[in-house]
Structure 1
């Protein structure tokens, strides 16, 4: 029996790569570990931010869609991303930083039993900083060139919030299919962990009977969860199909192998392998500094680069 070891990455939509690049690098202090393109549509950027090497469990990824409209929030959507920070002192640091940099944020509070600070990026993407009590993404590495001091750096993904009409349907998928542990369950909210006690694989599911979310800029496209290798991926694909879900089949994304499926509420999940990772085509020292393409797109590089607008730094 295989175990899901936690979150792998999460993917969002941005309208403006330049502003997105500024926020996640210069405000949140993450490293841009890979600048590549959407492999299914190479006309758009696919940007990854994370720790020093873009370890599984630290990656926030964005597809640039210049025509993206406004997000109309609703149900049947992934609605918030938790990010782990080391201490309550870190929350105070971040609150002051957000005030100085004009970032929309709330007051210090509690979320999913963690001291917390809610905030949004410039496109309204909902996030929350959570005190990790020493927990961080399994392979997290500090980035020495971060704009944020080491003692307050974001240490990976924490609790992810999903809002659905049929809570019990998603609950059964998480527990019966993937072996998540149910920590609590009421009519309106349930909490699940892939490994008991670990926020790095925690999902809060909220029940909401309203119109489905209409995605746009600042919306969340899918959540990827971690599997060790392709052998495990083959196992999970079989389990997904046996439960009656349609699977994308295994796709080689070069930096990892993955598969996709939608559960009964329409939430898109990806299962992604831990390796080989972002250093497969670049040195750690220069990750994210140039446009990297998987081998099957390399022969189209000239055409792809002509269609992409250079991402100029905002100072």
Structure 2
């Protein structure tokens, strides 16, 4: 493969009530809502993007929230956990923070190199906060509810649970240009570039497990980074030549995307780093207004009537509140 990913771009999951989703991820996890738009394939529901101050690739978790959606089932053929990087020594603070919100969390692994705090969001999505001995240099979003000294630095890793890990690892290494970092019983850790936080995928073997059902509280797809559209086009051609059923390049306004499903059943996306989330609203105002692509703008009135009313915590745009 001539093209290699530089790491994770975003993870997209499915949620229920959008206001509950916003309250948890802005106030609970301390992320910033950087874009409020709609699902371009189903404009009657939102597409909500959370990340750091500007929504840099590798910081993003996004949701399609459908009020009343049935719960999904975690299982084989899915990304079964999404992890975020937090500073070493911060998990005690996070445990107390979640306790104050009525959210149950527990330490699931402790070693000299890495500690992991596990929890579920209000829809049952599996999340992990990973505190590593390796310093994550990325700047956090300093919110009112989560001080910068404890705050999320960005994505850490995604867990893929599949029946045959060898085939999935082959896709990640041969077709996405990643490399194996470590192997243990039933788990292979694969990394892009330096293999640090934001560039990691853990592949777990579950040969006899129940196949997952994509619905509320589950991951829809995992997206990997590519610098620009021309590189993405080259990558698409190479993947198609290898026999993958790859989509055409799709315009997502803030990046362009291609999609294909790896042999284990997980839907992969390759998304560009550019143009970013400040192309249609200033950095200070990210997430405040419903943004629509040009082809949906003529239907704005109907769309705004159909989507659920939501409000954004003031801490999402503190400079604007201070200047009001």
Query: Does residue 59 of structure 2 align to residue 58 of structure 1?
Result: yes
Superposition deviation, residue 11 in structure 1: 0.3
Alpha-carbon distance between aligned partners in 2 of 1:171 and 1:112, rounded to the nearest angstrom? 26
Once the two structures are TM-superposed, the CA of residue 213 in structure 1 deviates from its matched residue by 0.6
1:112 touches 1:159 (CA, 8 Å); kept in 2?
A: no
Counterparts of 1:111 and 1:199 in 2: how far apart (Å)? 16
Q: Check 1:108–1:211 CA distance in 2 against 1; reply closer, same or farther (3 A cut).
A: closer
Taking a change above 3 Å as real, the CA distance of residues 297 and 141 of structure 1, as seen in their structure-2 partners, is farther
SS of the residue corresponding to residue 260 of structure 2 reads strand
Distance 1:105 1:144, change over 3 A: closer
- Please, what is the CA RMSD of the aligned residues? 1.8
* Partner residue in 2 for 1:74: 75
In 2 relative to 1, CA 125–112 (structure 1 residues): closer, same or farther, beyond 3 Å? farther
Summarize the Cα distance change of 1:201–1:72 in structure 2 as closer, same or farther, 3 Å threshold: same
Q: Specify the SS of the correspondent of 1:306.
A: helix
CA contact (8 A) 2:31 2:143 kept: no
TM-score using structure 2 length = 0.91
Counterpart for residue 239 of structure 1? 238
SS of the residue 2:274 aligns to: strand
- Aligned-partner SS, 1:200: coil
Cα distance in 2, alignment partners of residues 258 and 112 from structure 1: 38
- The CA deviation at 1:146 is 4.0
Quote the offset at 1:91 in angstroms: 0.9
Q: Tell me how far 1:265 sits from its aligned partner.
A: 1.7
Q: Is the 8 A contact 1:142 1:153 kept in 2?
A: yes
Preserved contact between residue 30 and residue 146 of structure 1 (Cα < 8 Å):
no
TM-superposition CA deviations, 1:262-310 (whole Å, max 9, x none): 0112210000000111100000111001101112211111111010111
Provide the C-alpha distance between the structure 2 equivalents of 1:113 and 1:299, rounded to a whole number of angstroms: 53
Unaligned runs of 5+ in 1: none
The 5 A counterparts of 1:128-147 are 128-132=128-132, 133-136=134-137, 140-147=138-145
TM-score (norm: length of structure 1) = 0.94
Structure 1 counterpart of 2:213: 214
Aligned match of 1:107: 107
Residue of structure 1 in register with 2:320 after alignment = none
Q: Quote the residue 1:95 is aligned against.
A: 95
Query: Matched residues in 1 for 2:236 and 2:103: separation?
Result: 41
Give the secondary-structure state (helix, strand or coil) at the position aligned to 1:103: coil
Match of 2:167 in 1: 169
Between the two proteins, the alignment pairs up a number of residues equal to: 311
Match of 1:303 in 2: 302
Q: Does the 8 A contact of 1:19 with 1:314 survive in 2?
A: no
In 1, the alpha carbon distance for the partners of 2:240 and 2:75 equals: 28
Counterpart secondary structure, 2:37: strand
Q: Which runs of 5+ in 2 are unaligned?
A: 315-324
Matches within 5 A, 1:112-131: 114-131=114-131
Structure 1 residue 12 displacement after superposition? 0.4
- Determine the C-alpha separation between the residues in 2 that align with 1:238 and 1:214: 30
